[in-house]
Amino acid sequence: MQITPDELIILQWGGLRLNATIVFTWIVMALLAGGARLVTARLSDDEAPSRWQNLLEVLVNGMRDQIRESSQHDPGRYLPFVGTLFLFIAVSNSLAIVPGFLSPTGSLSTTTALALCVLVAVPVYSIVGSGFGGWLRTWLQPSWLMLPFNIVGEFTRTVALAIRLYGNVMSGTLLAGLLIGIIPFFFPTLMQLLGLLTGLIQAYIFAVLAMVYIAAAAGTPGDRSGKPE
Amino acid sequence: MDNIGLIGAVSIVTAGLTLAIGSLGPAFGEARAAAQALAAIAQQPDEANTITRTLFVSLAMIESTAIYCFVLSMILIFTNPIWNRVLEMATP
């Protein structure tokens, strides 16, 4: 039994191997980018926007509200990064109900890449927000005695972020695979339903945790008051 | 029992024990967190949004310890590195 889609080679020419993780990541990317491009191609600001425009507006507004609430910052700067994380993970987790689709987040390499993005984004946002000195000072919070713990914590939380998402998605697929062998038809469907719920919650949690880490390093909350516009 | 059988048996028993003990603590922890959050919502229904969001995040944090144990036991069962190495040494 294979527990990650990494081992499934779809195409191979020469030394170049294309495994299922990359292919399904590209599918999700194409779906997200193509869908957004299609919808935003003809935006309207009249009384009744199209159904898809409505969907996107609800999504973007919801993400902005969540970012504002969980970080107390103005969401404008964080929305592109955190929103992309959420949308990518949510779409790839919920597409798991499509037969034959292996969720790319069920591979440790994908989740590690996402967690590394967060690891890089935290100092970038911190330096942009409060300058290089401000970023260095976040390492000394609350006192300089905590410096080694801060350094260790930076890496362990990245590992935790990656393993958490991977473990949750992988356990869902694995459980469904095992249950189909034991109790076919009805029960695996229920577990898939539960997997859909956990997938969305995990996407939410990944995004919120990334936002919390970024906001913690980006300076004191409230200096950029999060007023609803 | 020969060595290969011993390694297999120890791996499987350890995987079961890892999952059993490793899920016990987080289960207690999550139960406590959820109970506290419900009590807090019952006291302050207006703050339900904030409490629920914080609850989800903390549940995810607590759950990650159980997930570590799960990943470890899956590695022990399906992709056991020691098992593979012993098999490689046994079949020249």
pLDDT in tens, A157-215: 898 899 889 988 888 888 777 777 787 778 878 888 888 888 898 899 899 889 988 88
A226 falls in which pLDDT band (50, 70, 90)?
Answer: very low
Q: Would you place residue A46 in the very low, low, confident or very high pLDDT band (cuts 50, 70, 90)?
A: confident
Q: How is residue A15 annotated by DSSP?
A: T
Contact A70/B68, CB-based, under 8 Å?
A: no
ipTM (interface predicted TM): 0.72
Chain A partners within 8 Å of B79 (Cβ): 3
CA distance A167 to chain B (A): 6
Please state the φ and ψ torsions of residue B57, each to the nearest 5 degrees: -65, -45
pLDDT higher at B91 or B48: B48
Q: Kindly list the residues from chain B whose CB atom is less than 8 angstroms away from the CB atom of residue A164.
A: 60, 63-64, 67
pLDDT digits (tens, 9 = 90+) for A16-26: 888 888 889 99
Buried b (16+ CB within 10 A) or exposed e, A29-56: eeebeeeeeebeeeeeeeeeeeeebeeb
Average pLDDT of chain A is 84
Q: Residues near A184 by Cβ (< 8 Å), separated by ≥ 6?
A: none
Q: What are the residues facing A12 on neighbouring strands?
A: A17
Residue from A105, A163, A175 to probe the interface with B (highest B Cβ count within 10 Å): A163
Give chain B as a 3 state SS string: CCHHHHHHHHHHHHHHHHHHHHHHHHHHHHHHHHHHHHHHHHHCHHHHHHHHHHHHHHHHHHHHHHHHHHHHHHHHHHCCHHHHHHHHHHCC
pLDDT over 50 at B35, yes or no: yes
Q: Identify the sign of the CA torsion A214, A218, A223, A224.
A: negative
Q: How many domains is chain A partitioned into structurally?
A: 1
- Pick from A229, A206, A187: which is nearest to A70 by CA? A206
Least confident of A220-229, B11-20, B44-53: A220-229
> Domain span at residue A60?
5-225
Paired tokens of A187: 């029960």
Q: Using CB atoms, which residue from B49, B53, B71 is nearest to A167? A: B71
Quick: pLDDT tens for A64-107: 998 888 887 788 888 999 999 999 999 999 998 888 888 899 88
Probe site for chain B from A69, A89, A111, A164 (most B CB atoms < 10 A): A164
